[in-house]
Amino acid sequence: MQLEHDALMQNNTWTLVPAPLDQNVINCKWIYKVKKNSDDSSKKCKARLVATGLTQKYGIDYFETFSPVVKSTTIRVVLTMAASPGWIVRQVDVNNAFLHGILSEDVYMKQPPGFKNSQCPHYVCKLNKAIYELKQSPRAWFHRLSNRLYELGFAASKSDSSLFIRNTNGSMMFLLVYVDDILITGACNSAIQWVVNQLHSEFALKDMGSIHYFLEIEVTRSSQGIHLNQSKYIAEVLERAKMDGAKPISNPLSSCTQLSTKSGDPFSDQTLYRSTVGALQYVTITRPKISFAVNKAYHFMHNPTDLHWQAVKRILRYLKGSITQGLQLRASSSFDILAYADVDWAGCPDTRRSTSGNCIFLGNSLVSWSSKKQKVVARSRTETEYRSLALCTTEICWIQNLLKELCVSSSRVPTILNHNMGATYLGINPVLHSRIKHVEIDMCFVREKVASGALCVKYVSTVDQLANLLTKGLSTARFELLKSKLHKSANNFLMLRIDRVCK
């Protein structure tokens, strides 16, 4: 506590002033945490002074609060590029990051417990800089960091405002920001070191060296590329759910499982259900194969039953047996885009809405995937497939814009593989049938991309449709087959089959 208080005073975080009569004065408190290494050993004990932001009043001591963090797809795309030989990925952590944010509002806070000034016991702290748990602290910190990066020659990405790009005479450097965790990657080690030194001159940095543990994700480099896994995080989730001794299973969701809001009796511990499903959503960052099962469980967060909890436990049992598995980002000489789009028509027994699923490869690496229930009920399978195509096309366009900013070009036109002949035909031919007029906007969007030569839509057999993993529960044999195709990057084989048509 004393070290933290001394750091706050040295940072000129506040000035003691008489308590204003017409201003809101917020409370503060100390919180304590034991930080751990990736091997679960204790790293250090830390005390932190935090404000009780719940007592702030909008329009008086805060206004705007939004602060961006880097998207998970952006991280995977940049790390896929960094998997190339010769690229360096450096990790730095900013100490007490929020304390560097400059406040534009007048914020008054009570003196910290245990550190009340004996000469001015009735004074309050007028904050000069942000502290943790203020509503505007993340925004103030990001604004301060962004301004410094602009001074160093970086430009913010238009696709992801937490990605900063520096292009010096053709030498590219990328910087990713997730609150106080920063990744810097590029091919020039001296240039990266210069940026680290410049940031360290203004902020207290902890240089972590080459990336190895980032946002609860373990990162391992090899000659094949970069491997991401969350085994430590998964082990913690299993322990909290008291499933660390459970028997492993090879499939997260059975093809026979039909869950609805009316399934089973109310679950006794709804907090456990919600916290576990929330944690599993984070695991999907590196485990696309559980995305559909987790998405299914998420739909019952408001009123879970015992059968819903059994489905969550099945996901945990699957993770127990595959805890060391993760996502492989492979080194590649080309960065062509290939996507799979699928849909489960009227699969929700409660609403009869369909689930769209897609997975997008960049070269040999899976960088984006989605399992999402459509917002409206569809009257035909072709209609649902077309909405799924439009959703996948939108994500591809975003990735293309991101790659353009990263100065990455592709030798092939992005291709979407779909196993519905009707949707594939409508995607490339100017036909408008009365039964699908109400999805005309989605149709025109996809057709425009195809007609301009910016996109190919091709048929793929059901056997090779990898997006099946993201739309429905599968038999164990089918699940294992598609899982192996994902691991082996089956897109290499399929790209050869469609290359002649799409050139």
Q: Which amino acid is at 503?
A: K
Segment 66-74 mean pLDDT: 96
Ranges of each domain in the chain? 2-214, 230-321, 332-502
Q: Decide: helix, strand or coil at residue 259.
A: coil
pLDDT tens sequence across 428-437? 555 555 555 5
pLDDT tens sequence across 232-242? 999 999 999 99
CA angle (486, 491, 496) in 5-degree steps = 155
In CATH, what class is 332-502? alpha beta
Q: Is 123 exposed, middle or buried (0-12, 13-18, 19+ CB in 10 A)?
A: middle
Give the residue with greater pLDDT, 121 vs 41: 121
pLDDT tens sequence across 164-187? 999 998 889 999 999 999 999 999
Tell whether the model's pLDDT for residue 227 goes beyond 50: yes
Query: Tokens 């680290």 sit at which residue?
Result: 196
Tell whether the model's pLDDT for residue 290 goes beyond 90: yes
Tell whether the model's pLDDT for residue 362 goes beyond 90: yes
User: Which range among 42-51, 74-83, 436-445 has the greatest average pLDDT?
Assistant: 74-83
Is-contact 111 117, C-beta < 8 A? Answer: yes
pLDDT tens sequence across 32-45? 987 766 666 666 78
Segment 346-368 mean pLDDT: 94
pLDDT at 439: 66
Q: pLDDT averaged over the chain?
A: 90
In the structure, what pLDDT confidence band is assigned to residue 500 with cuts at 50, 70 and 90? very low
pLDDT at 423: 54
Q: Decide: helix, strand or coil at residue 411.
A: coil
Q: How is residue 290 written in tokens? A: 């559980």
- Comparing 55-59, 77-81, 141-145, the range with the smallest average pLDDT is 55-59
In the structure, what pLDDT confidence band is assigned to residue 61 with cuts at 50, 70 and 90? confident
- What gap in Å lies between CA 293 and CA 473, rounded to an integer? 7
Q: How is residue 356 written in tokens? A: 């769209």
Tell whether the model's pLDDT for residue 494 goes beyond 80: no
Is the pTM higher than 0.75? The answer reads yes
Q: Decide: helix, strand or coil at residue 439.
A: helix
pLDDT at 223: 87
